[in-house]
Amino acid sequence: MNFKRVLLIGITSLLGMTITLGGCSMGAKESTVSEKYPTKPITIIVPYAAGGSTDMVARALEKSAQKHLGQPLVVVNMPGGATTIAMNEIAGAKPDGYTIGMIGPGIILQPLYGQTRYHYPTALEPLVNVVSSPAIVATLADRPWKNLSKLVSYAKQHPGEIKFGHSGLGTPVHITGELFAKEAGINIVQVPFRGESESIAALLGEHIQLMIAYNPAVLKEHVKSGTIRILGVAEENRLTLSDFENVPTFKEQGIDVAFNFWNGIAAPKGMPPAEKARLAAGLREMINDPDFKKNMEELGMSVHYMGPDEFGDQWIADNAKLTKIVKETGIVDLIANQKK
């Protein structure tokens, strides 16, 4: 009887050890799987044509992807649809960490302007913010207004005479122009173009009197040559970029406007936590790479890293802010009327 009892206890202990070891083995296997990610190239979708500022950010990250992620980034440009073509592709992709995309405030703005296939703020999840670029107001250097105060005085005396160019209806630069007009109490006319290069050409050709841009680098040579003057920067602090350090902020000139254009990276909703953490960590290393920072400085952009949680908070804050702004400035109605 005692012998049988001892034997039963031994068998039970052995079974328990087998189950425990099996569980450890499974845990080790799962850990190994997550540690292997990524095992193939990662596609990063850019919602603009090649050569633009967002595209240049993606291609600068591409250079150090192998070093920090162990796999290359493959840049795929999907312009059109006011960024919705690319956003739909990202949101509809398999959430396995092999399709990500460059994003900006458009993920918040587009659903505010009408029905979209996905509600991007909830169909995507934030990985990292990469850079930020404040909006700037430019004019020809020979114009009579040398600062925003003189421009506002002129605009009040000549309502509707001044036209400002920007890179598309409902874009952050359009919003900045409308915010400026509303805050200053002036009537200026918006003129949309397909990009900053077209806006610059229109400004130089005197078809418009002002231009709102979010990439100072595209105007740098014109500023250095004395052809174009920058009147103000819609940022809390002055720019540190060479040739722009002395440009006063809107707020310094009595205009309470600060709007920052951010560029980050998002993934389809539902990535496995381990893969998301690995990807976010690799992207953080890429963004903090000295060569990348130098590249961004040369492009006139400020590196502004935010991790998934902080970047997600930015989405929430901007959603509340932009929802209010596009209604108060009439941009929502403007776009709705254009679609009719």
Can you give the CATH number for the domain in which 142 is found? Answer: 3.40.190.10
Do 213 and 245 have their domain in common? yes
Mean pLDDT, rounded, for 265-286: 97
* Last-in-domain residue among 242, 260, 278: 260
Q: Which of 81, 133, 124 is nearest to 103 (CA)?
A: 124
pLDDT score recorded for residue 30: 41
Q: What pLDDT sits at residue 277?
A: 97
Contact in structure between 286 and 64 (CB atoms under 8 Å): yes
- pLDDT average, residue stretch 274-292: 97
pLDDT (tens digit, 9 = 90+) per residue, 193-222?
877 889 999 999 999 999 999 888 788 899
pLDDT at 24 over 60: no
Residues 112 and 154 in one domain: no
Three-state SS for 261? strand
Here the tokens at position 199 are 């806006």
- 65 and 140: one domain? no
Highest mean pLDDT out of 87-96, 209-218, 318-327: 87-96
Q: What is the pTM of this model?
A: 0.80
List of residues 6+ apart from 1 with CB closer than 8 A: none
**Tokens 């002055």 map to which residue?**
238
pLDDT digits (tens, 9 = 90+) for 228-260: 999 999 988 888 887 888 999 999 999 999 887
Of 5-9, 75-79, 325-329, 334-338, the one with minimum mean pLDDT is 5-9
Asked whether residue 223 is assigned to any structural domain, the reply reads yes
What pLDDT score does 35 carry? 62
Same domain, 239 and 269: no
Calpha distance 264→262 (Å, rounded)? 7
Please, which residues have CB within 8 angstroms of residue 64's CB and are 6 or more apart in sequence? 285, 286, 289, 291, 292
The CA-atom distances, in angstroms, between 58 and each of 40, 100, 109, 153, 325 are 18, 11, 22, 41, 29
Q: Name the domain boundary from 243, 260, 277.
A: 260
- Domain-ending residue, one of 203, 226, 260: 260
Q: Note the pLDDT tens digit of each residue in 33-90.
A: 446 899 999 999 999 888 878 898 999 999 999 999 999 999 999 988 889 999 999 9
171 lies in some domain: yes
Q: How far apart are CA 130 and CA 303, in angstroms?
A: 6
CATH code for the domain in which residue 109 is found: 3.40.190.150
Number of structural domains (the chain) is 2
Domain ranges, residue 236: 133-260
Place of tokens 């890293």: 305
Q: Are residues 298 and 208 in the same domain?
A: no
- Residue 304 sits in the same domain as residue 315: yes
Select from 267, 296, 280, 312 the least CA-distant residue to 44.
267
Q: What is the pLDDT of residue 260?
A: 78
Residue 175, CA atoms < 13 Å, CB-side half-sphere: 27
Instruction: Work out the pLDDT band at 20, boundaries 50, 70, 90.
Output: very low
Residue 33 lies in a domain: no
Helix segments in the chain, DSSP class H? 2-36, 53-62, 65-69, 84-91, 106-113, 120-123, 148-157, 172-184, 196-204, 220-225, 273-287, 290-298, 308-328, 331-339
